[in-house]
């Protein structure tokens, strides 16, 4: 059960104290308090855990400072979509809105290799009016002898160039909690020219200590990749770890599942699950065509499988696309063969626009709008 308090409830007030005293006396019930500082107001929600089935909605609703009560109908308490649950799914970060209703594009480098490639990438994004990108600094690699990413040494130039080209959000994977502090420090040293969305990779979806550390901070939103060899429920619980620690600015990314030894795609594309995630949770849903398809194979017309699955995900309502681009894929240090080329960016955007329009038309159709 979730108690949603009146906005800006005074935490020093007698009413608030009275509410907590009442909750303290409920047998078999524990609670967790969550504060969310928005631009306009502070929201406070109290999550009741344990023996809550006996509690009546009306009784709880009548407690001091309580505005609304939501009975949790599914497992994912914070991020789940419950009955009569009109809590917002959207959040803003550094001037960009993320929600289940819009679409943000994150084309960028799988791995940062040198300042020139970062600059060419960001320059192209700015030319096309894009404000988000992906930039890998910490790379988890299957082979210990493969390039592991430049780590914190590349952060200053990545952030400065982002500022120069108006990039507001960079999706960046971290593999250890010390990376959060490294990113924070580099942002501070460069004068906070941009924002970072912390990415949890598919190999770390169930790294619970990392999830807790990322969940404990609210400065950066999180992009959680679905685990490639676990159930959907397990991955959604991983997202809930982040939220239960306090960070509910979470986007859930589909990136394909391990099935058939990488043939014909690197992973089995799972973008049919976009509406499933939206139904079960309030998280915006990201698709990662690069790490699911893993190649530049094309159909007889020349349309890349990458673009087919991107379109499929968007037609199904995806809210974010994370995709590898590179100015010179032959020289990329990681995942060059699956990268889109910079000169393909206008084509990519046109194709995405077609798919998004189709989704919006489909949505209007079901709603009976014209
Ligand atoms: C990535 O996005 O660079 C990446 C390694 O993805 P995943 O964790 O999905 O393999
Ligand atoms: Mn990659």
With 0.85 as the threshold, say if the pTM is over it. yes
Are 288 and 255 within 8 A, CB to CB? yes
Query: Which residue has its alpha carbon closest to ligand 1 atom 3?
Result: 110
Q: Provide the residue-wise pLDDT of the chain in tens; the chain has 370 residues.
A: 999 999 999 999 999 999 999 999 999 999 999 988 877 888 899 999 888 989 999 999 999 999 999 988 667 888 998 887 877 779 999 999 999 999 999 999 999 999 999 999 999 999 999 999 999 999 999 999 999 999 999 999 999 999 999 999 999 999 999 999 999 999 999 999 999 999 999 999 999 999 999 999 999 999 999 999 999 999 999 999 999 999 999 999 999 999 877 788 899 999 999 999 999 999 999 999 999 999 999 999 999 999 999 999 999 999 999 999 999 999 999 999 999 999 999 999 999 999 999 999 999 999 999 7
Ligand 1 contact, 225 CB (< 6 A): yes
Q: Which listed ligand is nearest to 324 at the C-alpha?
A: 2
- Angle of CA points 74, 218, 317, to nearest 5°: 50
From 319, 325, 329, 292, select the one nearest 108 (Cα to Cα): 325
Q: Point out the ligand 1 atom lying closest to the alpha carbon of residue 136.
A: 3
How far is the CA of 65 from the CAs of 18, 56, 59, 84, 368, in angstroms?
9, 17, 13, 19, 39
How far is the CA of 184 from the CAs of 180, 193, 285, in angstroms?
6, 12, 25
Domains, the chain = 2-71 (3.30.70), 92-366 (3.20.20.70)
From 255, 332, 336, 339, the mutation candidate for ligand 1 (largest count of ligand atoms within 8 A of CB) is 255
């Amino acid at each position: 059960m979730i108690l949603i308090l009146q906005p800006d409830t005074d935490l020093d007030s007698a009413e608030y104290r009275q509410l907590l005293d009442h909750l303290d006396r409920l047998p078999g019930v524990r609670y967790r308090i969550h504060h969310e500082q928005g631009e306009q107001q502070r929201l406070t929600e109290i999550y009741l855990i344990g023996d809550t089935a006996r509690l009546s909605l009306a009784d709880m609703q009548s407690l001091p400072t309580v505005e609304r009560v939501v009975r949790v109908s599914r497992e994912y308490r914070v991020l789940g979509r419950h009955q009569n649950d009109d809590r917002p799914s959207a959040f803003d970060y550094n001037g960009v809105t993320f929600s289940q209703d819009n679409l943000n594009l994150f084309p960028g480098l799988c791995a940062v290799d040198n300042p020139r490639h970062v600059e060419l990438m960001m320059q192209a994004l700015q030319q096309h009016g894009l404000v988000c990108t992906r930039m890998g600094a910490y790379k988890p690699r299957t082979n210990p002898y493969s390039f592991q990413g430049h780590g914190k040494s590349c952060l200053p130039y990545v952030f400065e160039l982002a500022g120069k080209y108006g990039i507001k959000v960079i999706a960046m994977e971290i593999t250890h909690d010390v990376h959060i502090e490294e990113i924070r420090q580099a942002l501070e040293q460069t004068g906070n020219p941009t924002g970072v969305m912390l990415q949890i990779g598919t190999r770390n979806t169930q790294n619970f200590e990392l999830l807790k550390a990322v969940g404990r901070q609210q400065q950066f939103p999180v992009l959680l990749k679905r685990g490639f060899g676990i159930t959907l429920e397990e991955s959604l619980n991983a997202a809930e770890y982040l939220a239960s620690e306090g960070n509910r600015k979470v986007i859930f990314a589909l990136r394909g599942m391990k099935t058939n030894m990488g043939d014909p795609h690197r992973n089995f594309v799972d973008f049919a699950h976009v509406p499933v995630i939206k139904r079960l949770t309030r998280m915006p849903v990201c698709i990662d065509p690069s790490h699911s398809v893993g190649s530049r194979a094309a159909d007889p017309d020349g349309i890349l499988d990458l673009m087919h699955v991107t379109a499929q995900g968007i037609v199904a309502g995806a809210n974010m696309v994370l995709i590898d681009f590179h100015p010179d894929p032959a020289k990329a240090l990681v995942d060059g063969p699956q990268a889109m080329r910079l000169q393909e960016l206008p084509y990519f955007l046109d194709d995405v626009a077609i798919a998004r329009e189709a989704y919006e038309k489909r949505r209007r159709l079901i709603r009976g709008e014209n």
